[in-house]
Chain A
Amino acid sequence: MNWLTTRRSFALMVAPALIVYSLYMIYPILYSLYYSFTRFDGVSAGGFAGLDNYRQMAHDDAFWTSMRNTGVVLGIALFLLVPLGFLLAILLSGRVKGSGALRALVFAPAIIAPILVGLIWIFILDPKIGLVNAFLLAIGVPAQPQWIGGPTLSPYSIGLVYLWQQIGFVLTIFYAGLRMLPRDVMEASSLDGAGRWQQLRYIQIPMMRETFGIVTALVVTGVFKVFELVYALTGGGPVHLSEVMVSYMYHITFTTQQYGYGMALAVVVFVVGALASAATFLGNRRKGEVR
């Protein structure tokens, strides 16, 4: 098996994967970057546009709305999804009767296709036929908020549906992390008189930093890929007020056939997503070094 260790063999073995990766990852990125500087309409080349597409973006209200909405979903994911996922994992990792079934139940939304999740939630959030407003009426609350389809609440609703969809996935990672913690440390702390809260605050959370880092990175990258939920719930409407960056990029590229501008949006989505992911990884590494 000596040949496995030679540089040449190693290169040969890596080459196919590298070629496929380059074809499917690097090439599309370069392709998008190139066309973002053109007036490409999807069929004919359209000519060089310089920075026009990026200038157009700066004056495009719908683009900024989509940025803000992506920020709303990211905020909900970071400040609600991650803590709630951890909390549920803590609760379900204890000796609770039926915790296995509960875990499976919480995980269930993660295995449903996002487009179906969207369709399910239409029947819950729709201002006219939705269960939430029907419930409000039933308990005597006359207000019928436009949870989706209105000009203000849609991005928050999308964020909450995303939370519902992802929480089982996040919980599972935290649960696995909690199970990996050495039992003797917990037992020793109990013998030393540490309470449940102290164990959580001073032992479990610090020892779970790596897991928190992984979950945060996955959640951040996941938010920049949200598309189907928006597509099914609101179609980005009304008037693009509930678009997130990816759905707006899709609309511009495929519905309005402004491929050049759409590719510029794709480049920005990629850059913003990459920067956010890099910041997350960097933050995790720094925390690790401080420890």
Chain B
Amino acid sequence: MPATTNRPLRLFIDIGLWLLTVAITLLGLAALTFFIGRILPIDPVLSIVGEKALPEVYQRVYLELGLDKPLWQQFIDYVIKLLRGDFGTSFSTSRPVLTDLLNFFPATLELSTIGLLIGVALGVPMGVASAYWHEKWPDHLIRIIGLVGYSVPVFWLGLVGLFVFYYLLDWVAGPGQLDVFYVGVVDRVTGMILIDSALAGEWDIFWNAVSHMILPALLLGYYSLAYISRMTRSVMLDQLSREYVLTARLKGASEFRVVMGHALRNAAIPLVTVIALSYGGLLEGSVLIETIFSWPGIGNYIYSSLFAADMNAVLGGTLLVGIVFVLLNMLSDVLYRVLDPRSRELAK
């Protein structure tokens, strides 16, 4: 095989091709948001200058926005602006959209990361149990739990959760990130309230934030758990039917060792991909959850911008979440190759 004779070159080409794929996908994403911005029934000039503007003013803004140029030229200008980090200006906050997004992103990241941790911590063991007791009652039970997670509208579950655990039982704090009198007490360092309050040593605030976060995080966790446990189950089923498992059993390894030490280790590689993908899904799921829980993140920003007809902000938010999503997808692809030596050999 010529590939093995020239390994560095091969690797170089692979990385180049991968970067090209990422670039094309991101360009496609930009093309989509550009296209959506173009089909807007609202005249972008009018939304800036207002109905009563003089024709000269209208004309000047029209030229400034580059609307006289051919479409492809406008698209190239758009991409160049994006590359410079210019996502346009938000009409409602009159700040650059990127500044707004970076303000709100940490809160979303914090919530979805904790959701993911919950999803992995529960989903993987559930998937393993489901595969180990294949077609027995634990399997059926776990599959049903997963199916419910797939079928339930997450925003509705949020409302029901608030009603039961906040209003009826009073176990958790209500919507928002903190109780009102704690807001703004802690200096903003990372934008993630748990880290910031811990850094400041304000443990009251920390526990208050936990109490606010637990319900939305659990819901997001459940949302990802459904997917993670199902995928874990199918990967583990495949691994447990392999011959090396039989060999290990014949050699007298304990069941725990066979499942955890052998099968799960081999299943771990595809699972990394699954987990990375569900992280992307969580970022999206947080849009609806954030609106229910008034969580000050990207989802809420997009939601409130929608009602202000602030398309720059909506498209900017979509673009940012899209970019993170694409990068996570690509990252999972890379991780798969790095972790699984076979995929490197068999790739070409």
Real binding pair? no
User: B-contacting residues of A (Cβ < 8 Å)?
Assistant: none
